Chain A
């Protein structure tokens, strides 16, 4: 893996009804693309948006896939992984289209994979090396802490920022996620699937911003049901994992 520049890297940018801010955020990505040392492409996954997102993407000639039907965040991201597999990318990075993730943090995610220290990296707001000012609300942090210890107890994978959607994986991860990726609230549960496939996971510090446009897919009312269903999913998949060993 010495030929870093030959490694094809794909940014998977899922976007649902982000017509308002998508161009602005893609502009930042394109500026970075021009200055970075990697062979970096991106694909926007339009998850069956009902606003003018598709028109904007088309009019501006942006590399994108329009899902003919809304699949939810999990299905949209998985489409990106499928695209990465079909087009022989070496590394796929999940990157939000709403401006939450700082593209300047990309090397933090990619370098451990290029150096073959990890198969999968997770961008975290909670590590000391993260210079993120935005750390999300108290109650959300508490929920994240609970899920984090649940994942640690059942898989020994130590991830602080379990709901982070800023993640990168090599070919092994791409193939695994094409095969299996949870459709709803995918992030925490997906670690359990990686654990059972002996994939090395590493958490790295990244910068995140508060969202500039659109609304988060998890609101306050859904918070509790989110916690319950994700916790159950983690516990259940840990039981399944142990059985199949």
Chain B
């Protein structure tokens, strides 16, 4: 792995750490939300500090260089995270729909009662 790329990866990992920790400290997120980003940053950091370890893992998987392994891994991880987010978005949408329906029916019941009195 070229030295420039290693430096870039370390900077990226540091940025992730600082940014996510700031989010948690400002109460914009909980640690459990940020855990996967911590782990991602940690892997990035280990890979760039001890590239030999990463390279041997890459060879073990039949991938030529650590850079390619990092790309494969990142794309895979991002796709997975994306899917997870869509699923949680869909369930949030469903919950909102149910709430809108129940609340609207409740509002109708109340206004019907008001009319009777």
Contact = CB atoms under 8 A, between A and B. Distances in A.
A86 B108 CA distance: 13
A31 to B, nearest CB: 24
Interface residues of A, number: 14
A67 B100 contact: yes
B97 A65 contact: no
A170 interface: no
A82 B97 contact: no
Interface in A124-162: none
B100 A65 contact: no
Interface in B72-93: none
Interface residues of B, number: 10
A165 interface: no
A78 interface: yes
Interface of B: 96-97, 100-105, 107-108
A178 to B, nearest CB: 9
A225 interface: no
A64 B104 CA distance: 10
Interface of A: 64-69, 71, 75, 78-79, 82-83, 86, 183
A71 B103 CA distance: 13
A83 B101 CA distance: 9
Contact of A183 (B97, B103, B107): B97
The 6 A-B pairs of least Cβ separation, nearest first, read: A79-B101, A67-B104, A65-B108, A69-B100, A65-B104, A75-B97
A185 B57 CA distance: 49
A82 B101 contact: yes
A71 B100 contact: yes
